[in-house]
Structure 1
Amino acid sequence: MTTTSTIVTAGKTKLPRSTRRVEPIYYLFLLPSIILFTLAITVPGVMGIFFSFTDSIGIGDWSFNGLTNYIAAFGDPAIVQSYLFTFGFSIATVIVVNVIAFLLAVGLTSRIHFKTGLRTVFVIPMVISGIIISYVFKFLFSNSLPAFGEATGIDWLQTSILSSPDFAWVAIVIVTAWQAIPGTLLIYIAGLLSVPGDVYEAADIDGASKFQQLTRITLPLVAGYVVINFILGFKGFLNAYDIIKGLTDGGPGTSTRSVAMTIITGFNGGDYAYQMANATIFFVVAILISLLQLSLTRGRNAL
């Protein structure tokens, strides 16, 4: 039920203020979600933060050790390297994904034949499991491409890129981008379709080229979508695990081990409290990125 009241203060009349009373039945429908979220996420998260200040291995006795795990994590070369790889991989992937997705969106919203069917084809990768995709591409990188390189005499193709500590990350970027482009593409298509056609008609009358229309009309009008895609994509790539697990398992050595993989590997290796401190640090980083996202997208009309 909604009521509207007018506030009068010192001879000045303010605009009507709408006051809403939430019906109790809404809270009843909300209760199961709150309970599940609390039991599945909030409680384990709080317990994890608690145990990050202990020497627990996940089972058995434990004792408090203060900030020892956090101090050790900041000085651990393996953890530092995993953060460097994760951030570098995320930056490279988000750029590749957004550039390709934007160009595809421009093409799929132009006056071409079969664009509806093409949109369907391009979104197929997003519905396939990441671990399945990684195994398929692992076969291609480890067997098909080297065989093609030997048959054609191309030396650099004869060795699997996954075995190179310097270039294995390139394969991970390629596969991750292949799966992530469709979701980003859909958002860009929505943004491009929201641009009024009259704007382009006026630009045509003024003699603007297609490139000028793209850079001076399209990009400024969909800037909000670009910002959102970049930040959401970057946050998502920080949690990379399944594709890396299937392609390289963090190798060669630990050159492609992400933060998520480092944490999970530590859990299985008995470093529960230590990696929980690492997970807490990672959680704080994610919150800071979310706050950045809110500050950059506040007031924008996109989405």
Structure 2
Amino acid sequence: MPLPAARGAGRAGTTTARRGKRDRAQSTFYWMVWPAVIAFFLFHTLPVLVGIFFSLTNYAGYGAWNFVGVSNYVNLFRDDRVLQAYGFSFLFAVTATVLTNLISLAIALGLNAKILARDFWRGVYFVPYVLAILVIGYVFQFIFSNSLPKILSGIPLFADNILTNETWAWTAIVALAVWQACAFAIIIYLAGLQTIPREMYEAASLDGAKPWKQFTSITFPLISAFFTINVVLSLKSFLQVFDPIVALTNGGPGTATESVTLLIFRGGFSGGEFAYQTANAVIFFVVITVVSLVQFRVLQSREAEF
């Protein structure tokens, strides 16, 4: 039988060994995390700080510059072109978000049902998400400008190239953006639907609940968290729309489909408005952040009610 002193020494040795392992684990953790933190600071935080600095100047992207204070920010609220771009971006984003979630949820409900070759169709619907949107955009451009005017020549709206219609050109961009965005949203909704036990639907059927009642009382409340994720991500992404516009209309006709991101790109990199559009980018960042936070607050409160 070991002596008490020997037992104490053994416990002390075990404690020291555990402490050594914990210290090594913490050291490994920091060595893994710090490179990512440094890279994030260098390639994200630092450029943001530099951008905020230049937004307070009159820098054109080249040559000398001087501090102008907040005059860039004040002028943005007086610029009709900027206000039009914000109006278009929000109209586009809200419309595309609503359509994306309605279509995606309907398709996800169908795929979640007992249909033939369900896994195959899941893969088919996800294909648009992995394709280059700029390349697909040029395909859609050909369809809208050449195919549809011939196929739907009897419909006045499509008799001519809709992309040249100042009033309706934005709907073609919505069609392309929704077509691609549905792919990701469908996968999110499918993940949520698969968390619902089948027994709940069977019990509801025995109680006489119709499909619509099952959807409103069981399905939607239980996937409300997934709905929140899709809505927030969709609206944020659509507010920053760029590639579909470049591929289809390039902001035209005129400036009818010019989004905030396209305006920032044009003015900042080729229009000699680097500081001015940097200030626009700062405001746009704040707007997107506020909109996302409000969405989370409102939608998560609805989850709590469910």
TM over 0.5: yes
CA distance in 1, matches of 2:183, 2:152: 30
CA distance in 2, matches of 1:154, 1:82: 29
**What does residue 139 of structure 1 align with?**
142
**What does residue 295 of structure 1 align with?**
297
- Equivalent pairs counted in the alignment come to 280
Alpha-carbon deviations, 1:275-295, whole Å to 9, x = none? 011001001112212322443
**What does residue 14 of structure 2 align with?**
none
Superposed counterparts of 1:110-149, under 5 Å: 110-149=113-152
**What does residue 183 of structure 2 align with?**
182
Unmatched 5+ residue regions in structure 2? 1-21
Deviation at 1:32, TM superposition (A): 1.9
Q: Which amino acid counterpart does residue 194 of structure 2 have in structure 1?
A: L
CA distance in 1, matches of 2:170, 2:156: 20
**What does residue 201 of structure 2 align with?**
200
Q: Give the greater-gyration-radius structure (CA).
A: 2
**What does residue 5 of structure 1 align with?**
none
Farther off after superposition, 204-213 or 178-187: 204-213
Residue 262 (str. 1) matches residue 250 (str. 2): no
Q: Which amino acid counterpart does residue 290 of structure 1 have in structure 2?
A: S
Deviation at 1:298, TM superposition (A): 5.7
Deviation at 1:27, TM superposition (A): 1.2
Determine helix, strand or coil for the equivalent of 1:23.
helix
**What does residue 161 of structure 1 align with?**
162
CA distance in 2, matches of 1:156, 1:60: 48
CA contact (8 A) 1:228 1:297 kept: no
**What does residue 36 of structure 2 align with?**
33
CA distance in 1, matches of 2:202, 2:150: 52
Deviation at 1:149, TM superposition (A): 3.1
Q: Which amino acid counterpart does residue 277 of structure 1 have in structure 2?
A: A
Residue 57 (str. 1) matches residue 60 (str. 2): yes
**What does residue 17 of structure 1 align with?**
none
**What does residue 17 of structure 2 align with?**
none
Is the alpha carbon distance of 1:205 and 1:291 closer, same or farther for their aligned partners in structure 2, counting shifts above 3 Å?
same
Residue 283 (str. 1) matches residue 269 (str. 2): no
CA distance in 2, matches of 1:156, 1:177: 20
Determine helix, strand or coil for the equivalent of 1:123.
helix
Alpha-carbon deviations, 1:240-292, whole Å to 9, x = none? 00111110000111011010000000111110000011001001112212322
**What does residue 16 of structure 1 align with?**
none
Alpha-carbon deviations, 1:2-50, whole Å to 9, x = none? xxxxxxxxxxxxxxxxxx9870221111122122211111111101100
CA contact (8 A) 1:250 1:256 kept: yes
Alpha-carbon deviations, 1:46-75, whole Å to 9, x = none? 011001011001122111111110010011
CA distance in 1, matches of 2:88, 2:296: 25
**What does residue 7 of structure 1 align with?**
none
CA contact (8 A) 1:57 1:272 kept: yes
Is the alpha carbon distance of 1:213 and 1:298 closer, same or farther for their aligned partners in structure 2, counting shifts above 3 Å?
closer
Superposed counterparts of 1:207-226, under 5 Å: 207-226=208-227
Deviation at 1:297, TM superposition (A): 6.2
CA contact (8 A) 1:53 1:66 kept: yes
CA contact (8 A) 2:225 2:300 kept: no
Deviation at 1:296, TM superposition (A): 4.4
TM-score for both structures, normalised by structure 1: 0.88
TM-score for both structures, normalised by structure 2: 0.88
Is the alpha carbon distance of 1:121 and 1:293 closer, same or farther for their aligned partners in structure 2, counting shifts above 3 Å?
same
CA distance in 1, matches of 2:120, 2:271: 48
Identity of aligned residues (%): 41
**What does residue 88 of structure 1 align with?**
91
CA distance in 1, matches of 2:168, 2:244: 16
CA contact (8 A) 1:125 1:182 kept: yes
CA contact (8 A) 2:133 2:244 kept: yes
Q: Which amino acid counterpart does residue 265 of structure 1 have in structure 2?
A: R
Deviation at 1:111, TM superposition (A): 1.0
Determine helix, strand or coil for the equivalent of 2:152.
helix
CA contact (8 A) 1:227 1:296 kept: no
Superposed counterparts of 1:11-22, under 5 Å: none
Q: Which amino acid counterpart does residue 26 of structure 1 have in structure 2?
A: F
Give 1 or 2: higher helix fraction.
Answer: 2
Q: Which stretches of structure 1, 4 residues or longer, exceed 6 Å deviation after superposition?
A: none
CA distance in 2, matches of 1:154, 1:211: 35
CA distance in 2, matches of 1:294, 1:141: 36
CA contact (8 A) 2:232 2:296 kept: no
